Amino acid sequence: MDLLGVAGDQTITVAGRGLRRAELMDRAAGVAAEIAGAGAVAVHATASLETVVAVVGGLLAGVPVVPLPPDSGPDERAHILGDSGAALLLAARGAYEPGEGDPPLVPVDDLPAGEGAGAGAPDDATALILYTSGTTGAPKGVLVSRAAIAAGLDALAEAWEWTAGDVLVHGLPLFHVHGLVLGVLGALRAGSSLVHTGRPRPEAYAEAAAAGGTLFFGVPTVWSRVCAEPDAARALRGARLLVSGSAPLPVPVFGRLEELTGHRPVERYGMTETLITVSARAGGDRRPGHVGLPLAGVATRLAAEDGAPVPADGETPGELHVRAPMLFGGYLNRPEATAASFTADGWFRTGDIATVGPDGWHRIVGRASTDLIKSGGYRIGAGEVENALLAHPAVREAAVVGTPHPDLGEQVTAYVVADGVDERRLIGFVAERLSAHKRPRTVHLVDSLPRNAMGKVVKTRLGA
């Protein structure tokens, strides 16, 4: 299987710098020669051509790639590098400052170009190790195979009528499924050109549309900001398709996008562990507040807390279970966590609560727990932020939840029992240790946290 698709005349442009496909593959072949035989390699995943070259080089060499968020704090970075066992760290020259205990640094710019397609790997080999949000502690490494990526991208290409004639435009981070798997590998596999805008600014999207962009990716925060600049939004009228994902698109934003751009956006649903499994179709209906129908090869069902089936009546909620060829291969070195994520009959438990209508349309209505926060397109684990807060010597207790935010969808809000420290210092303390987007935007200093008889914090009573 050729995961990267067939040779074509596409151009990959990131933050104003571009490479033809043949040039990209030659540079990636040089990376593949350098890392051949490594157990895994990390990539400092900035929004740059070097990130694309490094990731493609890993795929050519058949070496699992571990995308490292460029804004990760020292604790998060040390965990990802140590847990993954990355033998090398690939980065753009001068973009990464090595820390104590880091693997050897390889500047991608300094590697000579190579030739050939590389050794490749079996279809079931791990292509990427993507780290989750750490809802109950440290992030877990999700093993995503080459076959899963191919199946997911092919299903999306069918659903979105994505072809080599498209020009994909987005400005999303290159260390998660949306920006990297869909936004880079998807373009390569489909043969379409890619314009990565560096940052997802409304004016950059408008400029890309004027230059011939046809397919635009964004998270709800991006689309909300686009709608806030009507001239930029109207520039997207010439596009073929607008796609929103990574968090629910607010219904008012859906309506405003349609009003300004003339497009009803396509919404879709997925997870790091499943890639994308449900989506509206380019040639079909698009309903505000709904994520669409299962993709080709995907089966879904709803289950009650006791495991009993939930009817597809569009009203009764249940936990969404998935079976699909794009499912992950397990959590790295965590067999118990892997086993717990599947039912006895082999369905993946998403942890998301959904309703399914008689016509098969899915609507995601919430999280089975309150510990996953979706903010600006990021999935943030409350447990990871709580652990960071508890590392402060003045903090005795901490609970983190998502609260409504007009731009981000949800913001990280913390309730903290502490002595002699203020909100600003606690926010800064977390920002120094975790990715910037994981820091609390609001910290409430309280005398105590509400707990049940078992001593567990009752998060639904926070702020009451």
Burial of 315 (0-12, 13-18, 19+ CB in 10 A): exposed
- Residue 249: DSSP 8-state: P
Residue 237 buriedness (CB in 10 A; 0-12 / 13-18 / 19+): exposed
| Nearest residue to 40 (alpha-carbon basis) of 74, 86, 73 | 86
Count Cβ atoms below 10 Å from residue 264 Cβ, excluding itself. 17
pTM attached to this predicted model: 0.85
pLDDT digits (tens, 9 = 90+) for 397-445: 899 999 999 999 999 999 999 999 999 999 999 999 998 899 999 999 9
Q: What is the pLDDT of residue 104?
A: 97
Residue 402: phi and psi, rounded to 5, are -95, 135
Q: How confident is the model at residue 210 (pLDDT cuts 50, 70, 90)?
A: very high
* Res 390 pLDDT > 70: yes
Q: Rg of the Cα trace of the chain?
A: 22
Task: Give the pair of three-digit tokens for residue 34.
Answer: 């350098």
pLDDT attached to residue 458? 83
Dist. CA 225–CA 461, nearest whole Å:
32
Q: How confident is the model at residue 387 (pLDDT cuts 50, 70, 90)?
A: confident
Task: Note the pLDDT of residue 369.
Answer: 66
Distance CA(405)–CA(157), nearest Å, equals 33
Residue recorded with tokens 């033809």:
20
Name the pLDDT band for 35 (thresholds 50, 70, 90). very high
pLDDT class of 157 with cuts at 50, 70, 90: very high
pLDDT of residue 454: 40
Q: How far apart are CA 62 and CA 210, in angstroms?
A: 38
Tell me, what's the pLDDT at 456? 67
Instruction: Select the highest-mean-pLDDT range: 52-61, 113-122, 349-358.
Output: 52-61
The helix-helix angle for 220-227 and 202-210 (nearest 10°) equals 80
What's the pLDDT at 372? 72
Instruction: Concatenate the DSSP letters of all residues of 283-338 into one string.
Output: TS---TT--BEEPTT-EEEEE-TTS-B---SSS--EEEEEE-TT----BTT-HHHH
Confidence of residue 136 (pLDDT cuts 50, 70, 90): low
Please compute the mean of the pLDDT values over residues 8-30 and round it to a whole number: 95
pLDDT digits (tens, 9 = 90+) for 271-317: 999 999 999 999 999 999 899 999 999 999 999 888 999 999 998 88
* CA dist list (Å): 37 to 61, 121, 340, 347: 8, 11, 32, 34
Quote the mean pLDDT of the chain: 93
Biggest alpha carbon–alpha carbon distance for the chain: 65
More confident residue, 116 or 243: 243
Quickly state the pLDDT bin for 453 (edges 50, 70, 90): very low
Give the mean pLDDT of 188-203. 97
pLDDT in the model for residue 457? 81
Q: Which residue has 């009803």 as its token pair? A: 264
Rounded Cα–Cα distance for residues 334 and 341 (Å): 11
Cα 192 from Cα 153, distance rounded (Å): 13
The structural domains of the chain, ordered by start, are: 11-199 (3.40.50.12780), 266-367 (2.30.38.10), 372-461 (3.30.300.30)
CB 221 within 8 A of CB 408: yes
